[in-house]
Amino acid sequence: MNVQTQLKELSLEIIKDNLQESYNLIYVDYKDNLDEQMDEMQNSIINGNFDNFDEKIDNWYWDSVNDSINEEIYELKKQLKNNGYSLDNFEDFEDVVYDIICGRDNSNPLPTLIKNTSKTPIFFSLNMYIDEDLDSIKRTLNKIKKILNIPFNNKEYDKDILYLLNNRCYGGHLGIFAIPDYEDLLMNKPMKFSGDIRLAIVNYDNGSGWHTILENFETPYYIFNKNIFIDETFKYNFSFAVCDMYSDWCKDCELIIDQPKETDKIINIKPNERLVSFIKNNAEYDKIFKEGRCSFGDMNIKRHRNVEYINEYPCGSRCKDCGTFWID
């Protein structure tokens, strides 16, 4: 004698009881990274958080999340059927179930994306600008020694610092290059450097600079106030565009973040408004260029579409649209 099993009626409350408390809907492949998002990484450093990536991550993983939710719904329906529930009216609840699962997603792909991202040289600005024409090399030497916490009567590193000053080219920003973890860059905590310090003078406006090595040196602690810059985000960056070096050229300069002792020297570096303004201006130039226009004074010739060469004094290139001129 065949006895037909009576299927139980399905309700939204029953469905909710069979849902998980949380879900991980995003899978980050080991090849996924932020290598092509260095400008956004720089904005994160300036802003002090990674909030600017929220919308981007939603867009990148939308299809993946949608597929994961549909897979979870498929498994849910199998579970309900095995528990003796009729699925005839499941479609009545499907949109609500979709939203519930989406709302319970605990995925946080950003740490993994950051971990997968290639490390690159970072410029820690000491917010000291070295002019091309110096009134006094000795006075500038002493200023640098002060910010490095080197006693004036200690001559051990004078030769190295003078070597840097004498090769300053067009002058530029004084700072230290290192290759830290990206997460460290958001910590507004005291930082110091140890090992073979890469001290540099960098001019991001015209693409020049020089560096020296202070061997077996340890700096005081610095509070950088976001004076931290990803070198490759600049068109005329020091590591690659100017010097054509390997990405790990400053790996022997170690960044240390820990709790200073009461006897440790801590130097609070004021914000380098000049470099921050430089980055913001370039972001605005990029935006204008993407809109089909160009900006007078933008010296990146690639952001000008209608450039002609003038072969008469003074020779150079001129943008017909905005009038920006590049002299030879």
What is the residue extent of each domain of the chain?
A: 12-116, 122-275, 292-328
Mean pLDDT value of segment 248-274: 92
Tokens describing residue 196: 């073979």
What per-residue confidence (pLDDT) applies to 4? 54
Task: Kindly tell me if the per-residue pLDDT of 266 is higher than 80.
Answer: yes
Task: Kindly tell me if the per-residue pLDDT of 168 is higher than 80.
Answer: yes
The runs of H, that is alpha helices, within 104-171 are 110-116, 137-147, 158-166
At 118 the three-state DSSP class reads coil
> What's the mean per-residue pLDDT of the chain?
92
6-16 confidence digits (pLDDT tens)? 888 999 999 99
What per-residue confidence (pLDDT) applies to 14? 94
Distance CA 288, CA 285 (A): 5
DSSP labels, 254-301: EEE-SPPPTTS-EEEPPP-HHHHHHHHHHHHHHHHHHTT---TT---G
Mean pLDDT value of segment 157-180: 95
Q: Comparing 41-55, 77-91, 239-253, which segment has the lowest mean pLDDT?
A: 41-55
Contact between residue 132 and residue 167 where contact means Cβ atoms under 8 Å apart: no
100-156 confidence digits (pLDDT tens)? 999 999 999 999 999 999 999 999 999 999 998 888 899 999 999 999 999 999 999
What per-residue confidence (pLDDT) applies to 193? 96
pLDDT tier for residue 279 given thresholds of 50, 70 and 90: confident
Distance CA 208, CA 229 (A): 16
Task: Kindly tell me if the per-residue pLDDT of 241 is higher than 90.
Answer: yes
pTM as predicted: 0.84
Answer positive or negative: Cα dihedral of 165, 168, 173, 177. negative
184-197 confidence digits (pLDDT tens)? 887 778 999 999 99
Contact between residue 227 and residue 233 where contact means Cβ atoms under 8 Å apart: no
